[in-house]
Structure 1
Amino acid sequence: MTQRTWLITGISSGFGRHMSEQLLARGERVAGTVRTLSSVDDLKARYGDQLWLARLDVTDTPAIRGVVDAAVAALGRIDVVVNNAGYGLFGAAEEVTDEQITQQIQTNLIGSIQVARAVLPHLRAQGGGRILQISTVGGQAAFPGASLYHAGKWGIEGFADALQQEVAGFGIGVTIVEPGGARTEFRYGSSQLAPRIAAYDGTPASMARRMLEERKAVPPGDPARMVELMIASVDQQPAPKRLALGSDAYTAMQRALSARLAELEAQKDLAFSTDFPA
């Protein structure tokens, strides 16, 4: 197998960490970004020059371009880009602060967009490549208490859907990865809660808050197995447009998409009635 170079944002924990460990163990090269370099000292000590590291906050657009350009200069090329950096924000829309909204959208939506924009000139110049956009079941199905998290994930899915069509002619494939709950640090580690408004106690929006505060729910997904399938998807031709991972993801998305399609079909006559007469 030809050694490939992967650029992965956010490799200190979660899917980014699992993916980096699996790829490095296979002999692949990883250009990884972290907010704190010391968080991956063990990987650097074990793999040396096979792991190229850069400090990056994906809300800093100029820094994104600098890191991408530096990775290409140091490693010669990037074969696969994994837009992984992100975190959860939970609470009713009225509860989240203005600062939390801004940080969430800048990280989960704008950051991913700018990483993709920064790498595209390099992928075009080398004649192709692959982008994996890490989304979530929450990019297709919506749950109360996660409205701002959904705003970023539904937004990045729309961006990636269109991007797939824009860059296919350059040999660049784009896959949206939609995992369900996985046993990583995401739920009880990196996720943030909005300040509580008592009026929402006992409403559907409070369920997400209770889950994070009680810390009892165990996600069903095996992150190592999920990452194996993400990596394997890069060898598929053409690139799969979406990759649903986890029984909970499949079930929730199937229910949501079926309901949306049924609602649309019920409005067919209404929709057609607004056209000018033939």
Structure 2
Amino acid sequence: MTTTWFITGTSSGLGRLLTENLLARGDRVAATLRRPEALDDLRAAHGDRLWTARLDVTDTERVRRVVGEAFAALGTVDVVVNNAGYGVLASVEEASDEQIRRVVDTNLLGSIQVIRAALPHLRAQSRGRILQVSTAGGQTTYPGLGYYHASKWGIEGFCETVAREIAPFGLALTIVEPGATPTGFGASLDVAPPLPAYENTPAAATRQAFLSGRFPVPNSAERLTGAMIDLVDSGATPLRLPLGPDTYADVRTALTGRLAEHEAHRDVAHSVAATATR
């Protein structure tokens, strides 16, 4: 059966690869990106199974218009993939106000507005699901990526809430958490000018790992997009899907560490209850 997908950020990386693989197997794709001409080759090869539109997810009015046009043109959308993203490599002091706004506007507010625009259409058709592309950095952190983490932790909290709110309508949302993958993300990072004070610090080490190409990228982009497609095909609707041995290990370490710290404060937590005895 043909599945219809709406995907943001399809000019390169996971968005482009996912679009290619879906079209190759006969699905329909509404692909949005800032430069639609980047998909001219796919349009020539796949005809009307590929619908494209110019979209910058930081433009809320255009998000609403493009989402509505996609549903109208295709009749139905089975899967909405929030994939567009932006990263800035900087310590918290080094980033400019413009860089901070862009990462939050793209990864957090842009993703929120795509979901808000799609939900009335999904509810009207009484079926559908959302895949929110996050990262291992939605549950763990690396120095030098603080603003990226702020946006990804924020969208994960938002999506947990959305998943619970839309379940009564027969809709589902899964947060997809890819690990480091050779998609060009590292090369596309916006890098802030370094401050001398941060030399020989963890933030500087992260910067050097990315800029030198030494940051480990253990995952296959082809297998990662395949796992996303397999998830949809299976009908399973987990809240989160960790993808990559690095994601699994890093998130597990973060979660067990937080749980241990949480348990260490059990007594003080209970001590402030109104019924506590001293």
Q: Which runs of 5+ in 2 are unaligned?
A: none
| d(CA) in 2 for partners of 1:236, 1:160 | 21
Instruction: Output the amino acid matched with 1:258.
Output: T
Q: What's the offset of the Cα at 1:18?
A: 1.0
Q: What's the offset of the Cα at 1:84?
A: 0.1
| d(CA) in 2 for partners of 1:162, 1:195 | 37
Q: How does 1:59-208 map to 2 (within 5 A)?
A: 59-188=58-187, 190-208=188-206
Instruction: Output the amino acid matched with 2:132.
Output: Q
| d(CA) in 2 for partners of 1:191, 1:39 | 20
The answer to whether the Cα contact below 8 Å between 1:20 and 1:30 also exists between their aligned partners in 2 is: yes
| d(CA) in 2 for partners of 1:17, 1:50 | 15
- The yes-or-no answer on 1:258 pairing with 2:256 is yes
* Partner in structure 1 of residue 237 of structure 2: 239
The answer to whether the Cα contact below 8 Å between 1:176 and 1:242 also exists between their aligned partners in 2 is: yes
The answer to whether the Cα contact below 8 Å between 1:97 and 1:194 also exists between their aligned partners in 2 is: yes
Partner deviation per Cα, 1:31-73 (whole Å, 9 max, x = no partner):
0001011111111111111100000000000000000000011
The answer to whether the Cα contact below 8 Å between 1:31 and 1:51 also exists between their aligned partners in 2 is: yes
Instruction: Output the amino acid matched with 2:250.
Output: A
- The yes-or-no answer on 1:54 pairing with 2:53 is yes
The answer to whether the Cα contact below 8 Å between 1:11 and 1:32 also exists between their aligned partners in 2 is: yes
| d(CA) in 1 for partners of 2:137, 2:236 | 25
Instruction: Output the amino acid matched with 2:30.
Output: A
Q: What's the offset of the Cα at 1:252?
A: 0.5
User: What SS is found at the alignment partner of 1:235?
Assistant: helix
The answer to whether the Cα contact below 8 Å between 1:131 and 1:174 also exists between their aligned partners in 2 is: yes
Partner deviation per Cα, 1:137-195 (whole Å, 9 max, x = no partner):
0001111111000000000000001110000111111000011100111111x211112
The answer to whether the Cα contact below 8 Å between 1:233 and 1:240 also exists between their aligned partners in 2 is: no
* Partner in structure 2 of residue 213 of structure 1: 211
| d(CA) in 1 for partners of 2:220, 2:50 | 24
Partner deviation per Cα, 1:222-271 (whole Å, 9 max, x = no partner):
01101111111113445111100111111100101000000001111111
User: What SS is found at the alignment partner of 1:32?
Assistant: strand
| d(CA) in 1 for partners of 2:214, 2:31 | 32
User: What SS is found at the alignment partner of 2:202?
Assistant: coil
Structure 1 moving runs of 4+ over 4 Å: none
The answer to whether the Cα contact below 8 Å between 1:183 and 1:218 also exists between their aligned partners in 2 is: no
The two structures have a TM-score, normalised by structure 2, of 0.97
User: What SS is found at the alignment partner of 1:205?
Assistant: helix
| d(CA) in 1 for partners of 2:215, 2:102 | 26
Q: What's the offset of the Cα at 1:216?
A: 3.5
Q: What's the offset of the Cα at 1:215?
A: 2.2
| d(CA) in 2 for partners of 1:237, 1:269 | 42
User: What SS is found at the alignment partner of 2:94?
Assistant: coil
Q: Which runs of 5+ in 1 are unaligned?
A: none
The answer to whether the Cα contact below 8 Å between 1:173 and 1:238 also exists between their aligned partners in 2 is: no
Q: How well do the aligned residues superpose, as a CA RMSD in angstroms?
A: 1.0
Identity %: 53
Q: 1:226 to 1:238 in 2, by over 3 A?
A: closer
